[in-house]
Structure 1
C-alpha cells in the first residue's frame, strides 16, 4: 500500500502529531481536562491538593492559559517548555554530554534509531541534544499502550509524537497499521523534511542488552516494497544513536520484574505502573548521561538481519560505559573470562571509582537479595557487549 501525497493527511490523521493550526484548540482542551489538572495539582501542591484541589485547579488552569497565550505553533510551544525541560534535566543528572551531533546537517532530515532504556527520557535527551545544536527536533514514535488517557495523547502529539499501534491483535489490522506507519515515516523524512526518532525494539531493554529488532527494519521497507531494500534505507538517512545513563532511576523496578519473570514465567503489570515508571524516569537521579549520534548508515545492506547486526555493532561500540558498569561486571557470575575487561580502577580515577562504589552499594542494598543478580545484569551486560564488539566477536 503506497500512499499518494494527495490523500496523505487523511490517511495519517490517526497517528500523526498535531500541526501548528491545531495547537490553540488542543491547549484549550488540555487546560479544561479535569484529569490533567488534577495530576498537575497533586504534583505542584501534594499536601493541599486533597482538601483544596477544587480551588487550586482553576488557578492552575488560568496560570497555564497565561503562560501559553499567543502560542500558535509547535516550535513556539517547544521553545516555551524548553526551559522547564532543561531545569528538569539539570536537577536529575550530573550533566549531559553528546557526541556526533556536529555531523548532522541543517536542512537534512534523519531517521534516528536508538537503544531504549527509558520511556520518556530517551527521546527527550535526543531532543535536548538536537535542540541545543540549533536543529529541528525529530518526530517521536510512541506506543499507543502509553496513551490510555486523552490528555496524555494530546500532550505527546503536541510535542511532535506520532502513534505506533501496538495493542492491535488481529493479523490484518497489525499489517495495515505497520503499512501506515512505514508510509508515514518515509513521508515525514522524504516529503516533510522532518526527522524521526524510534526505538530499536519494542519495549525497554530492561536487562541492559540493547538489540535491534529486524522486524522494525523490515517495517521501514513495507510501504516501498517495489524498491530495493538498501536503496530505501539509504533514502531514510538512518542514524544509530547510543543513549547511556550512568544510573537508571528504574533499575530496582526492572530488577524486580526480571526476577519475577524468571521465577514464575510471566510478569503482569499493575494498574498505573507505566505512569510510575514515566514519573520516576523523568525525576529520578541518573548521574551522567551521554548521547552519541553515529554516522549515517549508507552502506548497501540487502536484508534486515544484516542491517540489524551492523546497527547493534555501532550502537554498542559507542555506548558510554561509566565506573558502575565495570563494578557490576566484576561481580557478574556470567562474565566472560575470554574478554580482556579491565577493572574500574584501571580505567577511571580512584576518586571517581570510590564515588561510584558508594552509589552502587546503595542500589544493591535497596534490592531484595534474590533480585540483586538482576540489578547486576542490567549494568554488566553493556560491558560484555561492548568488549565483544571491540574483540570482533559475534554478539
Structure 2
C-alpha cells in the first residue's frame, strides 16, 4: 500500500522503498562505522546481507533493533517491564503518549516491550528533525518506523506542518493500523515534572473527522507512565540548567544532543518500568460536547498528566531525593538506611561527572534531587485527587 504523496517528506519508508534505501545506507561510510561499532561481532558484509533480506520495516526491527535493544537492557539496566498492558485491546492500534526522559530510549524500549507482551507490532515514532543531524541518521530512523516532526520550519510554515503531521497520525492509525508513540511535550522534561503541552493535543485534533473530541478519540490515546530508576543523563541535564542560568540565550548544540543520545543509550538505568494507564476514549465521552476549545484541551492535558503521575513506578532513590530536597523524613518508610546511603553516594558520583569550568555544586545538587523527587510529589498529588 503506497502512502499518499503529501506525507512523503515526513513518513517512514514504505516497504517497496526499502531495498534502494538499504543500498544507500550500506554505501555510506558513516553508517558503516556506526554499524561496526554497535555490531562488532558481526562482519559488515554479513550485516548488509541480513539487511537486504528484510522485506518490511518490522522485519528490520526484529532482525537488528530488537536483539540490539535487549542487549542494551541486559548490559545497561536491571530489567525492563511493561505493566497493565491487558488494559488495552491488542487488536486495535493505539497512540501511546508518555512522559519523556531519554531522547532515544523511551520509544525504543516501549517498542520491544510491546512485542514482548503479545502486541504483534511495534509503533511508529514521532521524532524531531533537530535530532536528525546526519543524512544517514534520517534515513535509518525512517527505516525504523519513525515519522518526522518538523521543528526547524518558519513560524509561517508551522501551522501547515502541524496540520500535515496530524493528518499523517490519523492515517497511520486508521489506514495503516500502526501504533504510534509520541511524547506528552516537545523535548524532555529535564526536571521530571511531567506536564502535557496543550499544543500537542491541538496538533492531534487538526486531523481526523468530526468534533475535537471525535478527533482525539480516533487516535485511541493511551497515557503511559515511564519510570527509570536512574537517568544516565541526569548530570548532563543538571549541567544544562546551570548553563541556561549563567549564559543568556544558551542552547544545546548538535554535539550536545549527540552526547546526550550516546549517554542515554549506553549509561546505567537501573530498573525500567512502563505502566499503561488505559485508553482515554471512555473518559472523553464524558466531556460536554459544547465545551470551549481552550477548556477542553486543558482538561485533556490534565487528565493525561493525572494518569501518568498516578502510574509512576517509584524507587527508593525517588523517596530519598524527596526527603533530602525538603530536609524531612516524610517518606522514610519507603527506603532503608542502606538505600539512602547508596543514593547519596550515587548523587556524589554524578556531581563528579559535571565538566563545567565553574560548577555551582549546591545548585547542581538541588537540580539532581529535584529530578528524582518530582515524580514522588506528582504521584502523591495525583493519588490524593
User: Which of residues 176, 182, 198 is equivalent to 1:198?
Assistant: 182
Aligned-pair CA distance for 1:390: 2.0
Q: Does 1:284 align with 2:267?
A: yes
Partners of 1:266 and 1:246 lie apart in 2 by: 32
Match of 2:334 in 1: 347
Give deviations 1:353-393, integer Å, cap 9, x for gaps.
5544443343245454142211112111111111122222x
The CA deviation at 1:227 is 1.8
Give the Cα separation in 1 of the matches to 2:3 and 2:56: 21
Alignment counterpart, residue 312 of structure 2, candidates 297, 319, 339: 319
Where structure 1 has 5 or more consecutive residues not aligned to the other structure, the ranges are 1-5, 46-58
Q: 1:372, 1:214 → 2: CA distance? A: 31
Aligned twin of 1:330: 323
Q: Does 1:273 align with 2:273?
A: no
Query: Which runs of structure 2 are paired with 1:160-179 in the superposition (5 Å)?
Result: 160-171=145-156, 173-179=157-163
SS of alignment partner, residue 222 of structure 1: coil
> Is the 8 Å Cα contact of residues 347 and 368 (structure 2) preserved in structure 1?
no
Deviation at 1:76, TM superposition (A): 1.5
Could you say if the C-alpha distance between residues 8 and 376 of structure 1 is closer, same or farther in structure 2, counting changes exceeding 3 Å? same
- Cα distance in structure 1, aligned partners of 2:275 and 2:4: 33
Size of the aligned set, in residue pairs, is 366
Match of 1:3 in 2: none
CA contact (8 A) 2:93 2:220 kept: yes
Range 354-363 or range 249-258, more displaced = 354-363
Say whether the 8 Å CA contact 1:17–1:162 is kept in structure 2: yes
- Contact 2:223/2:307, CA 8 A, preserved across alignment: yes
Contact 1:260 1:266 survives alignment (8 Å): no
Give yes or no for contact 2:321–2:373 (8 Å, CA) kept in 1.
yes
1:272 is paired with a residue whose SS is helix
Residue 120 of structure 2 corresponds to residue 125 of structure 1:
no
Task: Summarize deviations over 1:111-157 as a string: whole Å, max 9, x none.
Answer: 11110110110101110210111211110000011113110011101
Cα shift readout 1:161-183 (whole Å, capped 9, x = no counterpart): 00010111232x11110110110
1:79 aligns with 2:46: no
1 CA distance for matches of 2:162 and 2:266? Answer: 33
Kindly report the root-mean-square deviation, in angstroms, between the aligned alpha carbons of the 2 structures: 2.2
CA distance in 2, matches of 1:376, 1:142: 28
Alignment of 1:231-246 (within 5 A): 231-246=214-229
Work out whether 1:257 is the aligned partner of 2:252: no
Q: Distance in 1 between matches of 2:135 and 2:352?
A: 39
1:34 lines up with 2:29 in the alignment: yes
Asked whether 1:152 is paired with 2:137, we answer yes
> Of 360, 365, 387, which aligns to 2:347?
360
Report if aligned partners of 2:133, 2:254 keep a CA contact under 8 Å in 1.
no
Query: Per-residue CA shift, 1:247-296, capped at 9, x if unaligned?
Result: 11111110010122123343222341111111111110001111011110
SS in 1 for 2:215: helix
| 1:309 to partner: Cα distance | 0.6
Of 254-263 and 98-107, more deviation after overlay is shown by 98-107
Is the 8 Å Cα contact of residues 207 and 258 (structure 1) preserved in structure 2? no
For 1:354 and 1:223, locate their aligned partners in 2 and report how far apart those are by CA, in whole Å.
Answer: 51
Q: CA deviation at 1:187?
A: 1.1
What is the TM-score normalised by the length of structure 2?
0.89
Matched with 1:52 is none
The alignment partner of 1:68 has SS state of helix
Structure 1 position 185 matched with structure 2 position 169: yes
Against the structure 1 CA distance between its residues 223 and 263, is the aligned structure 2 distance closer, same or farther, given a 3 Å change threshold?
A: same
Candidates 69, 78, 87, aligned match of 1:103: 87
Cα distance in 2 between the residues matched to 1:349 and 1:180: 52
